[in-house]
Structure 1
Amino acid sequence: MIAIAVVAGAALTGCTGNSIAASAACDVKSGSGSESIRATGAFGKDPEARVPSPLNVTKAQSTTLIQGHGKKVGDDGVAEVYLTLFDGATGQIGAETSENFVPVTSKALGAGLAGAIGCAQVGSRLAVVIPPKQAAMFSAPEGSSIAAIVDVKSAFPNRATGRARPATPGFPTVVLAPNGQPGIVIGSHAAPTKVQSAVLRQGDGAVATKKDALVVQTQIVGWSDQTSATGTWENGSATVQTLSDGSALAQELLGRRIGSQIIVLTPAAKSGSGDATATVVDILGSIPAASIQQQ
């Protein structure tokens, strides 16, 4: 089976780390391969697609099947996409349709798919064909291209865009890599005994309510092992945080503005991991919480 996955970014727990390369420029053109693909069905649902086989390309191709009228996704952002992959050798589905919040970077998606999505407008449906070298990152059979039907539902920046705030005394130090990925330096700070939070960057977007689900990037470091980080920056895909689940994180994000970056300190008893944690959350945007419940 072909795997829908994104490649994790480089680990970052201090002030060093590799930035994620920007996606390809708008040079992924339509070609005979992508133009041969047909897809019908409702936008954002399982498409009824016809992929001729064998289908193989030496350079990525992208054809717009439905022209969206929203904003352009752009390089280095995060896109909410409905993605279905097909084996170019057989024309059969290699991975069922799934909803993903993906960083639009060549490191995460390969230059061809990232370039196609980055140049699309929100609301577009794309037919994309990826050459074998790039298809290998999706576990495609050796030498095979991959065809993809991509519905681009929404787009967000890949990091908090708010204004930096002065550091809060008593909180770990947070440093940013060039791509925006936080590094958390706990140092000699004592582990928290209660949930605490502070604003690192103050956004100017809408105030988050329980009716919202937040699209976020997270970086998490535990007090016991301060050299290992987890979270979306590590696994390569943004996530959605509902605000009505009663979790400590949800309570600290409720009432925050879109575009903010928040650090949350959680004691071991409430972290769910058995260790006290420091979590940096970049609030990229929001979608209706009801839309999550309907999926």
Structure 2
Amino acid sequence: MKRESVRKSVAIIVAAGLLVAVAGCSSSGSSAASCSPLASAGSASNLVAATGEFDKAPSVTFGTPLEAGADTQRTILIQGTGAVLQSDGVISGDYTLLNGTTGATISTTKYDGSTFSSFPIASSGLAGIQKGLACATVGSRVAITMPPADGFGAEGNAQASVGPTDSLVMVVDITNAFPGRANGAVQPAQAGFPSVALGPDGRPGITIPSGPKPTELKTAVLKKGDGPAVADGDQVIVQYTAVIWADTKSVATSTWRDGAPTAVKASATADLATTVVPSLIGQTVGSQYITLVPPSAGYGATGSTDGKIPADSTLVYVVDVLGILAVPATK
């Protein structure tokens, strides 16, 4: 099945560059009762109708020009009963984004049951999206109306044909949600592996030990999740950091540094340059693991094509398995 990347699928939204974290709902045990929404239904959002079944392309109607008022509003059109969205988590679903002033469609997913948009809530690009999704639940269809300040701002967005005074309307079907970090049970440390210390947000800090570099691919589980196991071909949302086992001990690549989890394909046969992260197959959702990757199992004598990983590099990956996005049609 096809899956859009976490960033590219919402590129037109991320282009606005307005980053506002959602307050509340930050733990995996959050409930709707303990979560504080950042937007409520109002005269603008109540004007938006979206007919059709959940996860099917809706027919969105509202009077134009829609006056969004001073604040983002949200109306729950279909109430879901699933998990509450977490502030540091990842949403997966379908959406339709429209210019509230003209009624023109700006962007939409395919609503084909296999190609969803997935993006981290806290860095989805538009403040109105984050406010509108705060404390919503999986299975919900949400209508969000955004004033320019919570949309593309005073400059508008010429590429999206949005003027500086145009409001935005977004209808989101929330099909799934994932935490932003591994939440499994901590496992005993194993000898011979680098030590890992986690920051307040779950970001791993990796300390390379003294001694010779590993010459074999080795993996140890740091946290054991109780979710389903990753199978060959699964599309998986992960957070990961890879460091080079060398004198510089430099970070080669990291979703934490880039600001967003990513979707990768688990493969038993593809090389590391294709799969992005190693040793995914068999890991359970909610787990964090560490893998030692010698050059023979990594980027070999050539290094990575982007130049971030030099030739003959030994790598250390720490990977958080956040969720399985799709099951291939061949299964």
Amino acid at match of 2:42: G
Match in the other structure for 1:168:
190
* Selected match of 1:80 from 68, 71, 92: 92
Residue 116 (1) aligns with residue 116 (2): no
Give 1:194 shift: 3.5
Shift in alpha-carbon separation, 1:228–1:2, aligned structure 2, 3 A: closer
Residue 100 (1) aligns with residue 138 (2): no
Shift in alpha-carbon separation, 1:269–1:86, aligned structure 2, 3 A: farther
Range moving further from structure 2, 24-33 or 37-46: 37-46
Residue 241 (1) aligns with residue 264 (2): yes
2:245 and 2:291 map into 1 onto residues whose CA distance is: 13
Structure 2, unpaired ranges of 5+: 1-9, 25-35, 111-115
- Residue pair 2:23, 2:38 contacting (<8 A) in 1 also: no
Shift in alpha-carbon separation, 1:220–1:48, aligned structure 2, 3 A: farther
How do 1:198-217 residues align onto structure 2 when only pairs under 5 Å count?
198-210=220-232, 212-217=234-239
Deviations 1:219-251 (A, max 9, x none): 233457644453433344333333345245676
1:91 and 1:191 map into 2 onto residues whose CA distance is: 60
* Selected match of 1:254 from 274, 281, 290: 281
1:30 and 1:136 map into 2 onto residues whose CA distance is: 21
Shift in alpha-carbon separation, 1:226–1:67, aligned structure 2, 3 A: same
Shift in alpha-carbon separation, 1:142–1:278, aligned structure 2, 3 A: farther
Structure 1, unpaired ranges of 5+: 11-19
1:253 partner SS: coil
Range moving further from structure 2, 254-263 or 215-224: 215-224
Indicate the RMSD between aligned Cα atoms, in angstroms: 3.5
How do 1:118-267 residues align onto structure 2 when only pairs under 5 Å count?
118-136=134-152, 139=157, 141-186=163-208, 192-210=214-232, 212-223=234-245, 226-228=249-251, 230-244=253-267, 246-247=269-270, 252-267=279-294
Deviations 1:85-138 (A, max 9, x none): 222332212223272322232x54555422332322211111111232231379
Residue 59 (1) aligns with residue 71 (2): yes
Deviations 1:55-110 (A, max 9, x none): 333111111122222222243322212233222332212223272322232x5455
Greater percentage in strand? 1
Shift in alpha-carbon separation, 1:21–1:33, aligned structure 2, 3 A: closer
Give 1:199 shift: 1.3
Range moving further from structure 2, 135-144 or 174-183: 135-144
Give 1:150 shift: 0.7
Shift in alpha-carbon separation, 1:228–1:256, aligned structure 2, 3 A: closer
Question: What TM-score does the superposition give when structure 2 sets the normalisation length?
Answer: 0.71
Higher RCO by CA contacts (8 Å cutoff, separation 6 or greater): 1
2:137 partner SS: coil
Match in the other structure for 1:29:
40
2:96 and 2:249 map into 1 onto residues whose CA distance is: 38
1:3 partner SS: helix
**What is the percent sequence identity of the aligned residues?**
35
2:173 and 2:319 map into 1 onto residues whose CA distance is: 27
Residue 284 (1) aligns with residue 322 (2): yes
Amino acid at match of 2:264: Q
1:66 and 1:163 map into 2 onto residues whose CA distance is: 35
Amino acid at match of 1:116: G
- Residue pair 1:23, 1:76 contacting (<8 A) in 2 also: no
1:80 and 1:258 map into 2 onto residues whose CA distance is: 16
Amino acid at match of 2:140: S
Give 1:40 shift: 3.0
Question: What TM-score does the superposition give when structure 1 sets the normalisation length?
Answer: 0.78
Shift in alpha-carbon separation, 1:85–1:234, aligned structure 2, 3 A: farther
Give 1:206 shift: 3.0
Larger C-alpha radius of gyration, 1 or 2?
2
2:117 partner SS: strand
- Residue pair 1:44, 1:151 contacting (<8 A) in 2 also: yes
Deviations 1:235-282 (A, max 9, x none): 443333333452456762222222110122323454352543322211
1:84 partner SS: strand
Range moving further from structure 2, 237-246 or 32-41: 237-246
1:124 and 1:5 map into 2 onto residues whose CA distance is: 23
Range moving further from structure 2, 241-250 or 254-263: 241-250
Match in the other structure for 2:33:
none
- How many residues were matched structurally? 282
Amino acid at match of 1:267: P
